[in-house]
């Protein structure tokens, strides 16, 4: 059975507060643990009124403290915003509190706009350009220290917390392959390079102390309900949010609407539809078929599902239906290491 996981952003819906969002995140994680989800990740975003997971390490501790067995972690930490030592200490602390349950996904995006990035960093500096060296530094703090090492992450050193590379382009694929890290592709909002990045990563993968063979995670939006029509109705919440993104307008997560007609132009509809191409929306039968098709397209080793649904109970129920669909998928034999573009 292919493993399946959840990516959550502690969504703040219209009419609710960040405190409500964080309570809902923990409730969802507790349900996910019972339903067999492998891991529950939260993501770092800043200056976004509809997302309450900015203090990502704190939220991970909140989730881990309220669960028992599910793996918890970041999907991910935006490393250019932080000193590698700080992240090593934070995740070393999480590992000390919740041993054997912590994942560290890292990315090089800012998690917000340029103004927000400057507020976070007090200057942009090298930013994403230093990401490879920052990642190597982070790894060094989590490994066993060498005798000449003068700076140690305490807690953190010798924990060997698993690191996952996040990406939506060939940059992350190449770096993950070079360092022998698992690779999680952000196809839930940026699917354009999916068919390029995964073969590239597999073809150039170099075994490491952490991983002896390529391991790919594919992010997918999953909106499930009892009927296709109900799921499509719930999906309009995501469509409205992505429409706001391309218009550079941020808002709390809105309720669904009866129709998107009149809310977007034909060009905007095309843009949003392309961004949300990697989505499974419908009844249990429908999403199972869509997920099976995506599995055959990508030969993913793991799916990580996310969903923007305004009503918390509908969102929890959607993930319950999704768990049943994931369990019924039929994995393909390992794909050959294809040359990208062929």
Contact between 172 and 182 (Cβ < 8 Å):
no
pLDDT in tens, 115-172: 766 766 655 555 567 899 999 999 999 999 888 889 999 999 999 999 999 999 999 9
Mean pLDDT of 298-307: 97
Please give the structure tokens belonging to residue 108. Answer: 């090089």
User: Taking Cα atoms as reference points, which of 180, 168, 169, 175 lies closest to residue 205?
Assistant: 180
Please give the structure tokens belonging to residue 38. Answer: 């492998």
Strands, E assignment, 191-319: 216-224, 279-282, 302-306
pLDDT in tens, 32-60: 999 999 999 999 999 999 999 999 999 99
B/e letters for 280-300, b = 16+ CB within 10 Å, e = fewer, are: bbbbbebbbebbbebbeebbb
pLDDT in tens, 101-130: 999 999 987 655 677 667 666 555 555 678
Query: Domain spanning 4-327: which superfamily?
Result: Luciferase-like domain (3.20.20.30)
| Average pLDDT for the chain | 92
Q: What is the pTM of this model?
A: 0.93
Give pairs for 285-288: CB < 8 Å, separation 24+: 286/228, 286/231, 287/222, 287/223, 287/224, 287/231, 287/321, 287/322, 287/325, 288/325, 288/328, 288/329
Q: How far apart are CA 304 and CA 40, in angstroms?
A: 9
Mean pLDDT of 228-243: 98
Q: How many CB atoms lie within 10 A of CB 229?
A: 11
How do 216-224 and 71-78 pair as beta strands?
unpaired
Q: How many CB atoms lie within 10 A of CB 65?
A: 12
**Is the peptide bond preceding residue 217 cis, with omega within 30 degrees of 0?**
no
pLDDT band at 339 (very low <50, low <70, confident <90, very high): very low
Please give the structure tokens belonging to residue 72. Answer: 């918890």
Q: How many CB atoms lie within 10 A of CB 155?
A: 17
Mean pLDDT of 253-272: 97
Largest CA distance in the chain: 66
- 341 has pLDDT over 50: no
pLDDT in tens, 276-296: 999 999 999 999 999 999 999
Phi, psi (rounded to 5 degrees) for 255: -70, 160
Please tell me the total number of residues recorded for the chain in this structure: 342
The pLDDT, as a whole number, for residue 336 is 40
Mean pLDDT of 72-85: 94
In 3-state terms the chain splits into helix, strand, coil percentages (rounded to 5) of 45, 15, 40
Alpha helices in 17-129 (DSSP H): 18-35, 56-65, 84-97, 114-121
Q: Can you give the residue ranges of every domain in the chain?
A: 4-327
What SS3 class is residue 219?
Answer: strand
User: Taking Cα atoms as reference points, which of 331, 76, 58 lies closest to residue 181?
Assistant: 76
How do 39-42 and 302-306 pair as beta strands?
unpaired
- 342 has pLDDT over 60: no
- 338 has pLDDT over 60: no
Phi, psi (rounded to 5 degrees) for 291: -70, -35
Q: How many CB atoms lie within 10 A of CB 67?
A: 19
């Amino acid at each position: 059975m292919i493993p399946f996981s959840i990516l959550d952003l502690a969504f703040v819906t219209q009419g609710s507060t960040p405190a409500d969002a964080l309570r809902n995140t923990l409730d969802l994680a507790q349900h996910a643990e019972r339903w067999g989800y492998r891991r529950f990740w939260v993501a770092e975003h800043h200056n976004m009124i509809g997302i309450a997971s900015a203090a990502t390490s704190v939220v991970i501790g909140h989730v881990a403290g309220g669960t028992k067995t599910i793996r918890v972690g970041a999907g991910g930490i935006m490393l250019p915003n932080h000193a590698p030592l700080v992240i090593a200490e934070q995740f070393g602390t999480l590992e000390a509190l919740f041993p054997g349950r912590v994942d560290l996904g890292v990315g090089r995006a800012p998690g917000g706009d340029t103004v927000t990035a400057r507020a976070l960093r007090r200057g942009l500096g090298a930013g994403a350009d230093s990401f490879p060296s920052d990642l190597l530094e982070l790894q060094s703090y989590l490994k066993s220290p060498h005798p000449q090492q003068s700076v140690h992450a305490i807690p953190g050193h010798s924990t060997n917390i698993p690191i996952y590379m996040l990406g939506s382009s060939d940059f992350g694929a190449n770096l993950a392959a070079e360092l022998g890290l698992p690779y999680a592709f952000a196809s839930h909002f940026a699917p354009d390079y999916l068919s390029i990045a995964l073969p590239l990563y597999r073809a150039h993968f170099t075994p490491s102390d952490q991983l002896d063979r390529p391991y790919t995670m594919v992010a997918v939006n999953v909106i499930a309900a009892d009927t296709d029509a109900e799921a499509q109705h719930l999906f309009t919440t995501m469509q409205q949010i992505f429409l706001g993104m391309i218009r550079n307008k941020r808002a709390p997560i809105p309720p669904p609407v009866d129709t998107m007609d009149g809310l977007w132009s034909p060009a905007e509809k095309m843009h949003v539809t392309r961004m949300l191409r990697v989505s499974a929306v419908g009844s249990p039968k429908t999403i199972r078929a869509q997920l099976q098709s995506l599995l055959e397209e990508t030969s993913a080793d793991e799916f990580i599902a996310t969903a923007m649904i305004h009503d918390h109970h509908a969102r929890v129920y959607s993930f319950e239906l999704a768990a049943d669909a994931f369990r019924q998928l039929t994995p393909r034999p390992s794909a050959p290491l294809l040359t990208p573009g062929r």
